Homo-oligomer: A and B are copies of this chain.
Amino acid sequence: MRHTLEETRSAFIEKIGLKAQADGLPRIAGRVLGLLIWDGTAVSFASLADQLMVSRGSISSATRILLERRLIKRIAKAGERQDFFQLSDAPYVSMMEATKISLDNAKDEIDATLNDIPDAQTEIKARVAAYADFYGKMSKAVDGILTDMRS
């Protein structure tokens, strides 16, 4: 084997961090997600800050974002004062749902513009409508996947 498992784990965590950044999320949020995908188990708040070598404030912020998106869940352990976090049960469904909401919002905004264009402006309207349709098609496709995953 070229790399140790530990090296592969670190590389994976960093990859997800970069991907999160590309998606407009804080990099640390992506690294937390990557760590929890890899480990699968419940990891303590302090352990996250320790392993990722970032401040507790960053962990607080990152976990809040991931919780909002339903990508992770907060867990209480008996006899433990710390919070624990674990990958949620259906993280990829949640990702798709977030993607769909984002696409729908984009379409809604363009549709709003469309409503402001007088019918006489047929060509402008056609071009803007084609743009809205782009998001509509994407949203529909994502919705199809979601339906499949749930069945």
Residues of A within 8 A of B (CB): 1-3, 5, 8, 11-12, 15, 19, 22, 24, 37-38, 40, 87, 92, 95-96, 99, 106, 109-110, 113, 116-118, 121, 123-124, 127-128, 130-131, 133-134, 137-138, 141-142, 144-145
**In the docked arrangement, what's the CA distance between A123 and B2, Å?**
21
**Contact check: which of B5, B38, B96, B128 meets A38 at CB < 8 Å?**
B128
Please state if B141 and A11 are interface contacts (CB–CB under 8 Å).
no
* Chain A binding surface SS class: helix
Residue of B nearest to A21 (CB): B24
Closest Cβ of chain B to A21, distance in Å, is 9
- Copies of this protein in the assembly total 2
Please state if A19 and B95 are interface contacts (CB–CB under 8 Å).
no
Residue of B nearest to A37 (CB): B127
**In the docked arrangement, what's the CA distance between A114 and B37, Å?**
13
Please state if A109 and B144 are interface contacts (CB–CB under 8 Å).
no
**In the docked arrangement, what's the CA distance between A54 and B36, Å?**
44
Please state if A117 and B37 are interface contacts (CB–CB under 8 Å).
no
Chosen A-B contacts, 29 in total, with CB atoms closer than 8 Å, are A2-B116, A8-B113, A8-B116, A8-B117, A11-B116, A12-B128, A15-B109, A19-B106, A19-B109, A22-B24, A24-B24, A37-B127, A37-B128, A38-B124, A38-B127, A40-B124, A87-B127, A92-B130, A92-B131, A92-B133, A95-B134, A96-B134, A96-B138, A138-B142, A138-B145, A141-B141, A141-B142, A141-B144, A141-B145
